[in-house]
Amino acid sequence: MPVETMSAPPTTWSPPNPSSVIGTPQQDVFWETVICGKGHIVLMARAGTGKTFSVVEAAKRALQKWPNLRVGFSAFNAHIAKELKSKVPRGCQAFTLHSLGLQAITAHLGRRPNIDDGKVRAILDRMAAPEDLNKGRVDRALVKACNSLVSLCKAYLYEGTPAQLDEILSRHDVDLSPDSAVTPTGKPRSVFTNATLKPRVYQLVPFLLEAAKTTLSVIDYDDMIWLPVVLGLKVTTYDLLFIDEAQDMNRCQQKLAFMVCPRGRIVIVGDPAQSIYAFRGADVLSMPRMTELLETSVRGCVTLPLTFTRRCPKAVVTLAQAIVPDIEALPDAPEGIVETITEKDFSQVARAGDMVLCRTNAPLVKAAHQFLRAGRKAVLRGKDLSGQIRDLIEGMGAQTLEELGDMLMRYRLAEGERLESAGKSAQVITAHEDRCDTLTVLMEGCSSLPELDAKISRIFDKKDENGAIILSSVHGSKGLEADTVYILRPDLMPHPKAERKEDQEQESNIRYVALTRAKNRLVFVESEAAKEAVEAFIEKGLKEIFDKHHGDDMGQLNEDDDEDEPESESTYFPDDDSKELPWREGFDSINWLQVHKARLTELERTTPFDAPPEYIEALEKAKAVLPRC
């Protein structure tokens, strides 16, 4: 369907005198290219390199040359868009693609549509068959699965074919198993079984997508992007469009962005090494994909670097360079501090204004509770987990706290095994385990379900961040910075379950984002629990196996054996020195994980050809227990 366009109103702003701003050599090249070039631009802006300042200054200089230029800034979220509006030249427009899409839908209808994130459920209510109902309402498991898959289909611009849905399920945390809980009378809470839910969902999703296209009076958040694209609605257009955080765009957002600037110049700004939202539908190849389209356009495209970070000190940049080699510290950047402390010290030294990051949510929830219990203001930032946790509790159907604990333990194990056998990604499995671990942390110290509910409300209550310790998942920390940044459970970055190449790349990006939030001091908080677990395994489990197969009687004959039997020619640890392992050495070192991983690697390398299978299996288990680092 051809796309209709409507031009943004030309600016009436009077340009100021030529800018006297002095930038880095890289920024000067970028500004000169915006003014003197004719093609599209890809600005590869590493963490903290001043990309917002760079694009705002570029817009100012462009308007100095072309006062009637229509300039637009596409921001990643509403918070950033609001911040941009206070910085851009008067007459430039800063927006999110969602707000732009809503504007197009409103213009198409002649009135603003109702916004309701329950739209998919409302459509399901209309088309549900009797077998889909549970006590007169569409079954909860069916609603959740359809909601998730319809949302992801919109992000990918998929029609909902079985092959497309299979692809989505392999990448994302979509639960297609009905509630395992039973009612107090012993009856299943869901009318579906594992065998019947998936076929029904696959049957419904294409119909739900088609119905969503024709139901325009009510839209959900995904529709704001999706409907203008699939219906070819008229959208506001610009002569010069800056697209921020391009690495985190999904396929639908990419399509809408190009609709917004069909004939003008596009500047995409981002850092592929900060792409961390694949789990929610972002295209991990967003920037390469968009770059390729721009390079093959009539205008062509040039890629420019922005590598000098204005945020991070030299010590932090050195760490980040292990992941992204071309990020650089400014020559006059402070040296900065990178250190490791214990969990006990962390709880005492963290101060208001400090930022606390973690790969998973459970350690953050535990820390937030400890701070609040000590009368210290703490804010758990980012996505509200309380809804997910309450859904998990409701799904269990437990009547007492003790029963909930037992059911949660069984569910964590069974669902984890199911996800692994289904070939789910590391991020999907990690998200499941993190939800269970977060609930486990919340249950600590509670004596009843009402007390647990009150605790959830207290910890997840939205507060003013002024004068507070800020706690956030790494995913929720994008765009944030602090003088002092603490990283809890650094052994989880990368996560030990990340084995596939695409998962490892995302984990590497997550670590890079976490490191580069620090403006002065970066502190790794050594996890005593993780350290003790590994120490116990190595000291007890692996040592027992080692002693069993390396003992003095190895290779010796049993008393009952035939004395004439020739001595074994086994090469199995023939050297007595191999029995000497410094089990305790290195436990107090900040590199204790690397120390023990190196030992296991050496044992594996020197394993002889005739080693017993159980020893090889023990080595594999030992490697799996050690977190990746």
**Do both 461 and 497 map to the same domain?**
yes
Q: Per the domain annotation, does 571 fall within a domain? A: no
Shared domain for 459 and 492, answered yes or no, is yes
Q: Using an 8 Å Cβ cutoff, are 11 and 67 in contact?
A: yes
Cα–Cα dist 221/509, whole Å:
27
First to last CA, the chain: 50
Does one domain contain both 393 and 502?
yes
**Whether the predicted pLDDT of 7 surpasses 80:** no
Give how many domains the chain has, as a whole number: 3
Beta strand pairing call for 137-138 and 133-134: antiparallel
Is 283 in the same domain as 175?
no
Tokens at 445, concatenated:
């110290």
On whether residue 623 sits in a domain, the answer given is no
SS3 540: helix
Contact yes or no for 378/469 (Cβ under 8 A): yes
Query: Is it the case that residue 348 has pLDDT exceeding 70?
Result: yes
Which residue(s) pair with 41 in the sheet?
A: 267, 302
Domain match, 133 and 165 both? yes
Q: For residues 294 and 288, what is the distance between their CA atoms, to the nearest angstrom? A: 10
Token digits of residue 424? 């789910």
Q: Is there a single domain that holds both residue 136 and residue 88?
A: no
8 A C-beta contact, residue 54 and residue 27: yes
Q: Check residue 192 and give its pLDDT.
A: 77
CATH number at residue 46: 3.40.50.300
Over residues 396-439, the pLDDT tens digits come to 888 899 999 988 888 888 888 878 887 777 777 888 888 898 99
In the block, residue with structure tokens 């410094």: 582
Can you tell me whether residue 286 is helix, strand or coil? helix
Does some domain include residue 591? no
**How wide is the angle at C-alpha 25 spanned by C-alphas 19 and 30, nearest 5°?**
65
In a domain, 618, yes or no: no
In a domain, residue 565? The reply is no
Tell me, what's the pLDDT at 90?
A: 83
Query: Based on the domain organization, do 355 and 470 belong to the same domain?
Result: yes
86 with 149, same domain: the answer is: no
Q: Which residues pair with 256 in a beta bridge?
A: none
Tell me what pLDDT residue 618 has.
Answer: 66
pLDDT-derived band of residue 553, with 50, 70 and 90 as boundaries?
very low
Question: Among candidates 394, 361, 358, which has minimal Cα distance to 141?
Answer: 394
- Decide: 482 and 286 in contact? Cβ < 8 Å: no
Alpha carbon distance 40, 319 (integer Å): 33
How far is it, in rounded angstroms, from Cα 42 to Cα 59? Answer: 15
- Pairwise CA distance, residues 317 & 328, whole Å: 7
Chosen domain end from 215, 239, 268: 215
Taking only the tens place, the pLDDT of each residue in 34-90 is 999 999 999 999 999 999 999 999 999 999 999 999 999 999 888 888 888 889 888
Domain containing 39 equals 25-111+226-306
Q: For residue 533, count other CB atoms closer than 10 A to its CB.
A: 14
pLDDT in tens, 503-544: 889 999 999 999 999 999 999 998 776 666 555 544 544 454
* Domain end among 547, 573, 597: 547
Q: Please classify residue 38 by burial: count the beta carbons closer than 10 Å to its beta carbon, then call 0-12 exposed, 13-18 middle and 19+ buried.
A: exposed
* Residue 439 Ramachandran class (φ > 0 left, ψ -120 to 50 alpha, else beta): alpha
Same domain for 143 and 281, yes or no, is: no
3-state secondary structure of 245: coil
Pair 212, 153: CB distance under 8 Å: no
Q: Is residue 562 part of a domain?
A: no
Which pTM value belongs to this model? 0.76
Residue at which a domain ends, from 526, 547, 568: 547
Domain-embedded: residue 405:
yes
